[in-house]
């Protein structure tokens, strides 16, 4: 199943709508969706190494715009939609810890958490609830999410063929590693 999914993503990478799907997943992940866009960015960049920088930029733009949606949820809809998102992923304690952290650390929380597998939606919604300056929020989100996605693009550009060979040879292990990182991110948040 993992191999079929990976092969399907690689086939879709040449389709005209692949970049829109990447943008949509990055946008959704920053506000309500549980899966990080890296799981699509990496195979797309591998399949289209010449467009790795463009894909990283699309992913960054989607993530920052999605972050603004999450921020808006925190400001305007925490009592309804925001609480539903927090409750759906059982992130009540983590959300409170993020909120408290924002009151103490502000933008540094975004810079630290935006590079990790911790769900970015927590950061964006908590930023809105805490009333973090929106300009500072956007700059921090651009910096941290851009760094994350452009590092992936740089690695693919530099080591493209060996990375593709490694991933294809050890696809199950790579997929399990990505899954472990996602689960670990949630575990850190919930723990």
Could you count the other beta carbons within 10 Å of the beta carbon of residue 135? 8
pLDDT in the model for residue 120: 83
Query: How do the domains of the chain map onto residue ranges?
Result: 2-190
Rounded to whole angstroms, the Cα distance separating 69 from 78 reads 12
pLDDT in the model for residue 51: 92
By residue count, the chain amounts to 191
Phi, psi (rounded to 5 degrees) for 133: -50, 125
pLDDT in the model for residue 184: 61
Contacts of 23 (CB under 8 A, 6+ apart): 58, 59, 61, 62
pLDDT in the model for residue 67: 95
Element (H, E) at 88: helix 83-88
> What rounded mean pLDDT belongs to the chain?
80
Tell me which DSSP letter residue 170 carries. Answer: T
More confident residue, 191 or 21: 21
pLDDT at 119 over 60: yes
pLDDT at 187 over 70: no
- Count the helices and strands in the chain (H runs, E runs): 10, 0
CA torsion through residues 32, 34, 38, 43, sign? negative
Residue 171's pLDDT band (cuts 50, 70, 90): low
Whether 161 contacts 96, CB under 8 Å: no
Q: What is the pLDDT of residues 48-92, one digit of tens each?
A: 889 999 999 999 999 999 999 999 998 898 888 888 888 887 778
pLDDT in the model for residue 177: 66
Q: What is the pLDDT of residues 34-50, one digit of tens each?
A: 777 887 888 888 888 89
pLDDT in the model for residue 139: 93
């Amino acid at each position: 199943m993992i191999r079929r999914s990976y092969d399907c993503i690689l086939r879709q990478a040449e389709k005209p709508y692949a970049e829109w799907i990447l943008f949509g997943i990055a946008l959704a992940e920053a506000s309500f969706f549980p899966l990080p866009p890296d799981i699509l960015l990496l195979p797309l960049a591998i399949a289209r190494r010449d467009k790795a920088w463009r894909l990283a930029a699309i992913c960054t733009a989607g993530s920052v715009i999605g972050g603004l949606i999450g921020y808006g949820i925190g400001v305007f809809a925490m009592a309804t939609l925001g609480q539903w998102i927090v409750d759906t992923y059982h992130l009540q304690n983590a959300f409170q810890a993020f909120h408290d952290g924002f009151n103490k650390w502000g933008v540094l929380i975004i810079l630290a958490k935006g590079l990790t597998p911790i769900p970015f939606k927590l950061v964006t919604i908590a930023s809105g609830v805490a009333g973090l300056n929106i300009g500072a929020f956007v700059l921090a989100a651009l910096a941290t999410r851009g760094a994350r996605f452009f590092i992936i693009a740089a690695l693919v550009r530099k080591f493209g063929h060996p990375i593709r060979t490694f991933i294809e040879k050890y696809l199950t292990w790579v997929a399990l590693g990505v899954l472990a990182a996602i689960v670990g991110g949630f575990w850190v948040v919930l723990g």
